[in-house]
Amino acid sequence: MSGWTGKILQVDLSERSVTTLSLPDDVYRQYLGGRGLAGYFLQDATDFEWDDPKMPLALCTGPLTGTTTPASGHVIFATRSPLTGAHLDESVGGKLGTQIKAAGFDAVVITGSASSWVGLEIRNSDVRIADATSLLNKDTIEAANALYQFNAHAVIGPAAHSGVRFSSVLVDRYHGAFRGGMGLGFAAKKLKYIGVTGSRSATVSNETLLQGAAEDIRRLTAASSILKGENGIANLGTAALFDLIHTRRMMPTANFRRTFFDAAAKLNAAQISETFEVESFGCSGCHISCRKRQTNATGLPDYEALAHFSALLENDSLRTTVSANALCAQLGMDPISAAVSLACYGEIRGITLNGEQILELLTDIAAGKGEGKMLGQGSLRYATKAGRPECAMTVKGLEIPAFDPRGAFGLALAYVTSTRGACHLRALPLSHEILRKPVATDRFSFSGKARIIKIAEDQIALVDSLTTCPHLMLAASMEEYAQALTAVTGLELTTADLTQVGERIYYSERMRNALWGFDAREDDLPHRFFNEAGTSGPAFDVPPISRNEFLEARQRYYTVRGLDENGMPRQDVAKRLGLKWKN
C-alpha cells in the first residue's frame, strides 16, 4: 500500500539478531502507524515489567511521514514506563521519523537486552548492532556530536545510566522522548544510541490531492494567531504561552501552592529574546519552526520547562532557568519531572532552592548521588519515602506539567484520564479552555467536558498515529488531515473510520493499563487541588475544584468512554473495537 513501506525492523539485542517483518494490510488499516502501531506491538506485553527483556521498545512512523504533508515527520516512541508502570508513548520531532521511513521501515521494534552497551546503526537496509563502549562516559551532547555521520540519532545520557526513572532520550540534540523514563527503557536494554540514515522517498498515491490538502493546512496555520501570529509560537516558541497562563492565574508556583508568580515579567518570552541571541528551527517537514535555541547552539526552554524551573521553584533568574533546562538536556532528564521533584523536595524540606542548589541537585540526580539518588526515582516515590505523599504533584506517578488544573476543569479531567499520567497534550483541552480553538469553552465548568475530552483523546491518538505534530490541531483538524491520508494512501477513509481508529488506540492503552493494575484510584488528582485555592485574579477567583463535581464528571467520562464505574474496560466494547480481550 502506498504510504507505508510494509516492513518492520525487529531487533533482538539478547540474540543480537536483526530481522524484518511484514504486517497484514488490515493491521495498517486498524492502527495506521505511530502510536497506533506502537500499541499493536505492545498488546502482548502485558505480563512484562518495564525492564523485562521481552518488553518491546517501539519506534513507529506513520503513513504521512516523509511526505509533504505539513508537520507530519514525528516518530512515536513507546514502551511501559519505568516511572509510572503504565503505558508510555511520546511523539518526538526532529528528523528521526523521516529517516527511519527513508531507510525503508515503518517501525523499529527492539526487544532483548545486550550483554554490553550497544548502539543500533541503520543505513538503509544495512542494520548493525555496534559496540557503544566508547560513548559510555559521554553526555547526550557529546554522544550526539560523535554520531554526526548519521542523518538522525537518538541517545541517552548519564541520568539513564544512573537509573533515573525520568531519564530521557535526546533526539537530534534538541528534540526527544522526555516523559515517563524512556531513557531508562533504553538503558534496560543496554542501548546507548540509535543512528539512522535513509535515502528512499516516501510513496504518495495522489500528489495533486496531497498538494491541495497541504495548501489547506498551510492556509489554516497562516490564519492562526496561536501558531503564526506575532505573539504565536512560530515567533516566540511555546514560551509564548508564559504570559497568557500567568494572566489566567494558572501558573503553578511553589509546588502548586499558588497559581501566580510575582516575578513572571522577568522570565517571559520577551525577556528571553532580550537576554539571548535567539534563532528558530523546526522538525523535518514543518513550516512553523517553533523550536528556539541560542546562536551558540544551546537549546532554550519550552514553556513547560520555563515555567517549572522558575515559578514552580520560586526562582526569578532567567539564566538559572535556561541553565537548568540545558543541564537536563545534557544529562538526559525530563525537565518537567525534574523540576516537580525539586519543588516537592523544597516543600518537604521547607526551603526555597536558590539557583546554585537547583543546578547542583540536578547534577546529583543524574549522578545518583546523595539526595539526588532518591529524587531520581521521581517525586511520588521520594515524597512517599519521606512520609509526605501529599507533596507529590503527580497523576499515575507522572509529574504534572506547568498548567494548574484549578484554572481549567477540562484539563483537570484530561490529566486523570490520560493513559500515560498527567499530560496536557493527550486531549489538548487548553485549545478551547484557554486558546479559544475551535471556539472557547467555560474553563471553570465541567459541563460537557466528559464527551469533549473523550472526542479529543481519540483525535489526538489519531494525530499521533499519523505522526503529525499535535500543535497543528490548534489550527487544522482531521478534516484536512483525512484528505492528506487519502491522498497518500489511496484509501478512502472518512472521519468516522478514523474516529474509530483513534478510539481503538485509546481503549487498547486503557486495557493494558488495567492489566497493569490501574483503575479509578489512579484516575485522580492530588488532594491539594480539591482543598486549596489557587491565586485569584482581579476579576475572578480560582477556588479549589469541587470534589463532587470532579467525581461526577469522571463518572460521565467513564460512561462516554465505555468503561465500567470503576474505570475498567468492558469486554463488549473491546469486541466492538476489534481488540483482543485478556483477563
Partner 1 sequence: MEKLIQKYVRKLTHQGLVQADSVLMGGLDAEFVWNKTDKRISALENLFAGLNINSFLVATPSSPIADIIAYLSKTCGDAVRPSDSETRTFLHDLPIAKSSDTTEIAHHLNRRKCVLLPDGSIAAYGTVSPEEAFVTFSSACFAAYVKFMSDCLLGVRDGNITKDAKYVLQKALDALQLPPVLTPPVLPGPFNSEAQIHRAMSEVGRHTVDHRLVDSHFGNVSVLWNNIVYISQTGSSLDELESCIDPCPLNGSSSAGITASSELTAHRRIYEETDADVVLHGHPRFCAILSLDCSEPNCPTRGQCHIRCDKARFVEDIPIVPGEVGTGSFGLCNTVPGAIKGKRGVIVFGHGLFTSAQKDFLQALQNMFDVERMCAEAFIHKIQ
Positions touching partner 1 (CB under 8 A) are 216, 218-220, 222-226, 228-233, 236, 239-244, 246-247, 265, 268-270, 273, 432, 434-441, 447-452, 455-456, 458-459, 479-480, 482, 494-496, 499, 502-503, 539, 556, 559-560
Q: How far is the CB of 51 from partner 1 (least distance, A)?
A: 37
Radius of gyration of the chain (CA): 22
Closer residue to partner 1, CB minimum distance, 328 or 573: 573
Closer residue to partner 1, CB minimum distance, 67 or 459: 459
Q: Could you tell me the three cell numbers for 521?
A: 484510584
Give the list of residues 6+ apart from residue 366 with CB closer than 8 angstroms, or none: 157, 158, 159, 162, 164, 331, 332, 333, 372, 376
Whether the link from the prior residue into 438 is cis, omega within 30° of 0, is: yes
Q: How far is the CB of 322 from partner 1 (least distance, A)?
A: 17
Contact criterion met (CB below 8 Å) for 88 and 81: yes
Closer residue to partner 1, CB minimum distance, 20 or 273: 273
Q: Three-class SS of residue 306? A: helix
Closer residue to partner 1, CB minimum distance, 494 or 571: 494
Amino acid in position 88? L
User: 563: which DSSP letter?
Assistant: B
Q: How far is the CB of 234 from partner 1 (least distance, A)?
A: 9
At residue 420, φ and ψ (nearest 5 deg) are -110, 10
Closer residue to partner 1, CB minimum distance, 177 or 482: 482
Q: How far is the CB of 557 from partner 1 (least distance, A)?
A: 8
Closer residue to partner 1, CB minimum distance, 104 or 410: 410
Closer residue to partner 1, CB minimum distance, 149 or 494: 494
Closer residue to partner 1, CB minimum distance, 60 or 456: 456
Contact criterion met (CB below 8 Å) for 330 and 139: yes
Q: How far is the CB of 73 from partner 1 (least distance, A)?
A: 21
Contact criterion met (CB below 8 Å) for 34 and 73: no
How far is Cα 218 from Cα 224, in angstroms, rounded to an integer?
Answer: 10
Q: Three-class SS of residue 171? A: strand
Q: How far is the CB of 38 from partner 1 (least distance, A)?
A: 22
Q: Three-class SS of residue 267? A: coil
Closer residue to partner 1, CB minimum distance, 119 or 429: 429
Closer residue to partner 1, CB minimum distance, 86 or 428: 428
Contact criterion met (CB below 8 Å) for 42 and 58: yes
Q: How far is the CB of 429 from partner 1 (least distance, A)?
A: 9
How far is Cα 160 from Cα 335, in angstroms, rounded to an integer?
Answer: 14
Q: Which residues pair with 191 in a beta bridge?
A: 118
Closer residue to partner 1, CB minimum distance, 291 or 437: 437
How far is Cα 201 from Cα 124, in angstroms, rounded to an integer?
Answer: 12
Q: How many CB atoms lie within 10 A of CB 254?
A: 16
Contact criterion met (CB below 8 Å) for 479 and 495: yes
Closer residue to partner 1, CB minimum distance, 438 or 578: 438
Q: How far is the CB of 230 from partner 1 (least distance, A)?
A: 5
Q: Could you tell me the three cell numbers for 174?
A: 534538541
Q: How far is the CB of 470 from partner 1 (least distance, A)?
A: 15
Q: How far is the CB of 63 from partner 1 (least distance, A)?
A: 19
Q: How far is the CB of 329 from partner 1 (least distance, A)?
A: 23
Looking up cell 531520581 gives 376
Mark 62-94 as b/e (b = at least 16 C-beta within 10 Å). Answer: bbbbbbbbbbbbbbbbbbbbbbbbbbbbbbbbb
Q: What percent of the residues of the chain are helix, what percent strand, and what percent coil, each to the nearest 5?
A: 45, 15, 45
Q: How far is the CB of 499 from partner 1 (least distance, A)?
A: 4
- The CA–CA distances, whole Å, from 395 to 86, 381, 413, 523, 546 equal 11, 13, 11, 7, 18
Q: Could you tell me the three cell numbers for 408?
A: 481549567
